[in-house]
Amino acid sequence: MSYSKQETPAPPHTKRVGYVYDVRMKYHQDLEDPQDPHPEDPRRIYWIYNILKVAGCLDIMKNVLVTPVTDDKILRVHERQYLETLKDTEIMERATLLETQKKYDSVFLCKESQYCARMSAGGLLALCKDVVRGKLDSGLAIIRPPGHHACSAVPMGFCLLNNIAITVRDLQARKMVNKVMIVDWDVHHGNGIQEVFYSDNTVLYASLHRYDEGEFYPSSTDGGMDMVGEGEGKGYNINIPWATAGVSDGDYIYAFKKLLLPVARQFCPDLIIVASGFDAAVCDPIGECDVTPECYACMTSMLKSVSNGKLVLSLEGGYNLDAIANSALACVKPLLNIKWKAGHIPQPAIYLAYATLSEEE
């Protein structure tokens, strides 16, 4: 794997963009068939780290140290019984681990999984704290396992702990933020995040995802347009469900300009966290969409214009190693005020989300 050195500006006097990366998060791995790498490959975080290093970005970014998230923070989001089960995996033998993971939907476990999940959530929390405190303007959390599918009582979809939900709840408990916007551009609906904040008017959750009439993972109607929140949270949950594969730059840019940015500015959050899956990227084998690095750069730039630039991207999915590396680099460039010069953003295509509406609606 090799990348050409890319032009970066001279290092500023103060590093204002942070990143989180810890090699120990690679220890979480699939025990079932070591010869057949799982899509949620431990190498994912290294490929992102390496392209940022080769491009010279890490030289002008601050490395934020990672500490594992503690029980009290986890229990603001997850049920104790599930946490205890996760803890038990540390002492399970291989056969028991394989049997335990079969109880859940699309999850793998090893003895190190619980520690890695704590590191993943703890890394995002540390980065967000530095941004909220004003030590940093923005940042990228290069973390795994991902989290946006993890529900309060069960893990699912490669996710063990809900990194973003744990982070938001801790920041709110410490009164470091009041309102937070979560933008989820992972190709899958973040059902776990939606579950946690569905009745909360202090958190605006917006997800752009493949829906396929509820057939695309996580294979439920929770990602439908009609799921807008309940109680005090009604109107604070926004789903933009794509009807099929092949969604591209124009669809995302159109959704951002016509819906997400106007709503974000009206909501006026203290912080924006992006559930930054790159599985809608061109060449991703699971997402089967066509979002380019230029589009990820453009969406990042647009979000910088909200919340006084306090923006943190948190890695979720993305299963083509080249695609996630290049997409992550594209997101970091605008954070560092490096222009993305290659390519262009195409004109909006048919807004596929409308295809999910029935004729009666």
Catalytic residues: 149
**Sign of torsion over alpha carbons 34, 37, 41, 43:** positive
In the numeric block, the tokens 């997400």 are attached to: 260
**Half-sphere exposure (Cβ direction) of 267: Cα atoms closer than 13 Å:** 30
**Torsion angle defined by CA atoms of residues 1, 283, 261 and 217, in that order, rounded to the nearest 10 degrees:** -120
- Report the C-alpha gap between 75 and 113 in whole angstroms: 18
- Report the C-alpha gap between 240 and 255 in whole angstroms: 8
Tokens coding 33 = 């068939």
Count CB atoms within 10 A of the CB of residue 254.
Answer: 17
**Sign of torsion over alpha carbons 144, 145, 149, 152:** negative
Count CB atoms within 10 A of the CB of residue 192.
Answer: 28
- Report the C-alpha gap between 76 and 74 in whole angstroms: 5
Tokens coding 219 = 């294979």
From start to end of the chain, where are the E strands?
A: 17-20, 62-63, 138-141, 180-184, 203-210, 237-242, 271-276, 311-315
Q: Is 117 strand, coil or helix?
A: helix
User: Among 167, 147, 144, 141, which residue's Cα sits nearest to residue 159?
Assistant: 147
- Report the C-alpha gap between 93 and 36 in whole angstroms: 21
User: Among 6, 25, 9, which residue's Cα sits nearest to residue 314?
Assistant: 25
